[in-house]
Amino acid sequence: MMTPAPVTEVHTLACRAHVGFARSCLTSLLKANPAGTKVLVHDDGSLSEADEQSLCQDFPAIRVVRRRIADELMASALTRYPRLRRYRAEHPLALKLLDVVLLSAEPIIAYCDTDILFYRPALGLFKLPERANAVFTCDMYNSYSLRSWQIYRQKIACCRYVNSGLFVVNRSILDLDRLEWVLGLNTPPVLNHYREQTAWAILAANASTLLIHPDDVRIVNADSDVSDLIAGHYVATFRKRLASDIAKRLACDTNVGGRHLRYLPTSQCTALEMLRYEVSRRLARYLPTQNADRYVAVTSELTASRIS
């Protein structure tokens, strides 16, 4: 079986509030990838005409997909899906779930958040490994909008530790009927920002899915050592560190050697596991969390699942 070639079209989502960070992260993304990589920037509706012109001027390999144009194109694609239409109208992250796939003609879809900073070239980035239909970055937790009782009562299958900050998927895994059902699940408002990631985790459960090893790409917290990583994901909780790390990245040797991505298997997230997470999330309000060590436990669990 031949290994698929790396995709040359990468999608991302941008908002005006973080366009400065996006520039630096896009610069590192393009440096970390083969020449010829094209980036489609999906406007969340906040980018101005000046933002678009500036991005396209600074990055010839970038094309901006304006929200008003995407809205027109997606209206017909989602005619039969009222929940998906409503979700897309209410939450920008829906574009990661719907637009990046439905507005692309490519069979393999690649996506990368604009708060991911690459420290070195990533060999094999945006390529599906042999016999895999989906690849996602690895989360420290099962950060989903599902509740444990929903997984138990409705026997919902979803993959463990899926993080949608960076992913490569075969477009065939996008099941709009399944997503319409998923969006019908009762979700606490405080967890609404996890709905897109939860949807991917449920879709991934019906595909051959791998996670990028957290020693290669991981969420960066306040104490993380990024010296040996390929890339770091600066989620909102830890984004205040991004500016200083960008400065360090620009000042370091840009000829640092590339490295092949490594992968871990994933398995299903059980109701009991989600219950433990719900309890720990409540306790975290009163006790300090140990995020720096959390990936060690996750890697051990995923490795053990492969052995078993």
Domains within the chain, CATH numbers bracketed: 9-307 (3.90.550.10)
Residue 47: the pLDDT is 93
Supply the pLDDT for residue 308. Answer: 41
Range of weakest confidence among 30-34, 86-90, 191-195: 30-34
Q: Give the percent of the chain with pLDDT over 70.
A: 91
Give the residue-averaged pLDDT of 130-134.
93
Highest mean pLDDT among 245-249, 274-278, 293-297: 274-278
The model carries a pTM of: 0.91
- In terms of C-beta distances under 8 Å and separation of at least 24 residues, what long-range contacts does 97-103 make, across chains too? 97/179, 97/196, 97/199, 97/200, 98/74, 99/42, 99/65, 99/70, 99/74, 100/11, 100/13, 100/40, 100/42, 101/169, 101/171, 101/174, 102/74, 102/77, 102/174, 103/65, 103/70, 103/73, 103/74
